[in-house]
């Protein structure tokens, strides 16, 4: 009997060889990439070692010498072709992302657009990288700044946006004249390899973007952290790993960008449009089965409207379709792996034991599929109000005053994204200013922050630096002062 899994194994969209030191390379060891929908392997990928990392750094050093001197407009043209090729291969890329990490195909198609938009923006921006003329205190002096590429960049990315988290880093780095060595997440290395293939097809010179999957991230990463030639580390992932890399990077004083965990509060005030607020909670909570760093993690509702809002949110949540992520009709797919599922189960169990009620869902459906869930009466101190959930569960907590709502919303070690719904203009400003988060959505639950021209990043334990817009490009540029005497 042919199972679905057998037809998925070695699907034509899958990619298995690493790209480094100018070649597509197989390695003695491999590791399997598992489709979360069926728990079967879709292929065995090259498992790169610390020795391979060393070869990649040597190759990057040579590539940097050439790439940093390529005319920025020419760099922009190659980026533009890379962007266009993503659309030529849109359906394959979307399918590959869904196979690797289980995000519904309707969302991975959207991710192709999202990921490509960063390349397009940086393609246009490459030629605009410039410096400034500075007025000097002495008439016999002239001052200028020039922006220069930081150099070799080591990038480590997560699985939850297998393409978007890569292009948000690679596009500005390559536009700036840097070269990148990328270690993708173990769960989604094939999308990264596909993107490297398209970069080369677009005319990207050899070794400007090398992609090395590995199943041993700490050992593989070690050579980068001690090598003086690697001038920057850019990381998206958990706060625990970000903290580790931050410490390791200190030895060679590398520049560091960290996009880390989040725990977004969503405040619904009594004067809010409840229909719209509930619609946006659904969007920001259940997208990607809740596995998004800016996902709503805590819903705070003002007492007067709590019952009505809960009713509307429950109704909308019940219409979500949990199922095969490869089908167009699916709105919520599986979570990525067993450990993630167990974390969601533990948080829901903890909340229920402390007196919460599941008004929708509350349990595993099958395999890695967790039912879209709404919890009410969630007690203060519950795990779900503190730890990142990364699953399709919306816990509701009631508050009374604006002051109390803000205090609860800011009571987190994280500071990535926060949302508030209100029709009171004064309150909107007060709340936007008081929220200690890098991204604030006012009457906007799926913020336009997911766009190439705006700054994306967190405060507190959510990270260092910003991606997107000129802020994201500057992360890959050094500013040099040139002071000149003219007498």
Site string for ligand NAD, 157-196 (x = CB under 6 A): xxxx----x-----------------x-xx----------
The mark string for 267-306 relative to ligand NAD (x by CB under 6 A, - otherwise) is --------------------------x-------------
Tokens 């005030």 — which residue? 269
Q: CA–CA separation, 209 vs 171, rounded Å? A: 10
> What's the rounded Cα separation, in Å, for the pair 160 and 336?
8
The two three-digit tokens of residue 201, written as one number: 């097809």
Q: Which is nearer to ligand NAD, 388 or 402 (CB)?
A: 388
| CB-based contacts of 406, cutoff 8 Å, min separation 6 | 267, 431, 434, 435
Q: Give the SS3 label for residue 154.
A: strand
For ligand NAD, the binding residue among 104, 223, 237, 372 (CB under 6 A) is 237
In the complex, least distance from residue 306 CB atom to ligand NAD, rounded to whole angstroms: 28
Catalytic residue among 293, 388, 467, 475: 293
Which two tokens mark 323?
């199922």
218 lies in the binding site for ligand NAD (CB under 6 A): yes
- Of residues 350 through 389, those in contact with ligand NAD by CB under 6 A are 388
In whole angstroms, give the CA distance from residue 370 to residue 368: 6
If you count DSSP H runs as helices and E runs as strands, how many of each does the chain have, helices first? 15, 24
Confirm or reject binding of residue 454 to ligand NAD (CB under 6 A): no
C-alpha of 230 from chain center: 22
Single out the segment in contact with ligand NAD by CB under 6 A; choices: 64-72, 133-141, 256-264, 391-399: 256-264
Cα–Cα distance measured from residue 158 to residue 138, given in angstroms and rounded to the nearest whole number: 51
Q: Which of 244, 364, 428, 451 binds ligand NAD (CB under 6 A)?
A: 244
* The one segment of 54-62, 255-263, 321-329, 378-386 that binds ligand NAD by CB under 6 A: 255-263
Residue 148: how many other CB atoms lie within 10 Å: 17
Residue 367, by phi and psi: left (phi above 0), alpha (psi -120 to 50) or beta?
left
Closest CB 457 distance from ligand NAD, rounded Å: 7
Select the residue interacting with ligand NAD from 262, 325, 372, 391 (CB under 6 A).
Answer: 262
**Which of 416, 420, 435, 449 touches ligand NAD by CB under 6 A?**
416
Q: Is 259 annotated as catalytic?
A: yes
What sign does the CA torsion over 429, 450, 389, 244 have? negative
Binding residues for ligand NAD, total number by CB under 6 A: 26
Tell me if residue 48 is catalytic.
Answer: no
**Which of 111, 186, 259, 467 is flagged as catalytic?**
259
| Min separation Cβ 101 and ligand NAD, Å | 10
Residue 338: Cβ within 10 Å count? 13
Residue with tokens 């994204």: 417
Structure tokens at 65: 């010498």
| Catalytic positions, written as ranges | 259, 293
Query: Which residues contribute to the site for ligand NAD (CB under 6 A)?
Result: 156-160, 165, 183, 185-186, 217-218, 221, 236-238, 241, 244, 259-262, 293, 388, 416, 458, 463
């Amino acid at each position: 009997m042919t199972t679905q899994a057998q037809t998925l194994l070695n699907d034509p969209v899958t990619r298995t060889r690493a790209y480094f030191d100018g070649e597509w390379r197989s390695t003695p060891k491999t590791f399997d990439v598992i489709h979360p929908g069926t728990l079967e392997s879709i292929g065995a990928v090259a498992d790169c070692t610390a020795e391979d990392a060393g070869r990649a750094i040597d190759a990057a050093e040579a590539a940097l010498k050439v790439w940093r001197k390529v005319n920025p407009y020419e760099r922009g043209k190659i980026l533009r072709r890379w962007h266009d090729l993503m659309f030529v291969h849109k359906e394959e890329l979307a399918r590959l992302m869904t196979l690797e990490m289980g995000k519904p195909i309707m969302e991975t198609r959207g991710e192709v657009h999202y990921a490509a938009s960063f390349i397009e923006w940086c393609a246009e921006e490459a030629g605009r990288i410039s410096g400034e003329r500075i007025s000097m205190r002495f008439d016999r002096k002239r001052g200028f700044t020039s922006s220069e590429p930081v150099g070799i960049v080591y990038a480590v990315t997560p699985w939850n946006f297998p393409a978007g988290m890569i292009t948000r880093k690679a596009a500005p780095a390559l536009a700036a004249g840097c070269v990148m060595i990328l270690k993708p997440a173990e769960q989604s290395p094939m999308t990264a390899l596909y993107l490297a293939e398209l970069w080369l097809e677009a005319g990207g010179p050899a070794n400007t973007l090398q992609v090395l999957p590995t199943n041993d991230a700490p050992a593989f990463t070690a050579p980068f952290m001690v090598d003086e030639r690697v001038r920057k580390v850019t990381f998206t992932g958990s706060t625990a790993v970000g903290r580790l890399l931050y410490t390791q990077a200190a030895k060679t004083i590398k520049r560091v960008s960290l996009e880390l965990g989040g725990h977004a509060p969503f405040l619904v005030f009594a004067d809010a449009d409840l229909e719209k607020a509930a619609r946006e909670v659904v969007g920001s909570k259940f997208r990607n089965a809740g596995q998004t760093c800016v996902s709503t993690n805590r819903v705070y509702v003002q007492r007067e409207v709590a019952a009505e809002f809960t009713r509307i949110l429950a109704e909308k949540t019940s219409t979500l379709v949990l199922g095969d992520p490869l089908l167009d009709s699916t709105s919520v797919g599986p979570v990525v792996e067993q450990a993630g599922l167990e974390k969601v189960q533990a948080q829901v169990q903890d909340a229920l034991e402390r007196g919460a009620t599941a008004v929708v869902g509350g349990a595993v459906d099958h395999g890695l599929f967790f039912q879209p869930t709404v919890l009410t009466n969630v007690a203060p101190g519950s795990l779900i109000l503190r730890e990142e959930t990364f699953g399709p569960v919306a816990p509701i907590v009631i508050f009374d005053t604006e002051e109390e709502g803000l205090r609860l919303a800011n009571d987190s070690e994280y500071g990535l994204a926060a949302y508030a719904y209100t029709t009171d203009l004064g309150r909107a400003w007060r709340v936007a200013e008081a929220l200690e988060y890098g991204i604030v959505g006012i009457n906007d639950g799926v913020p336009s922050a997911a766009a190439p021209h705006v700054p994306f990043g967190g405060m507190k334990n959510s990270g260092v630096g910003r991606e997107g817009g000129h802020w994201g490009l500057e992360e890959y540029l050094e500013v040099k002062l040139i002071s000149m005497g003219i007498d």
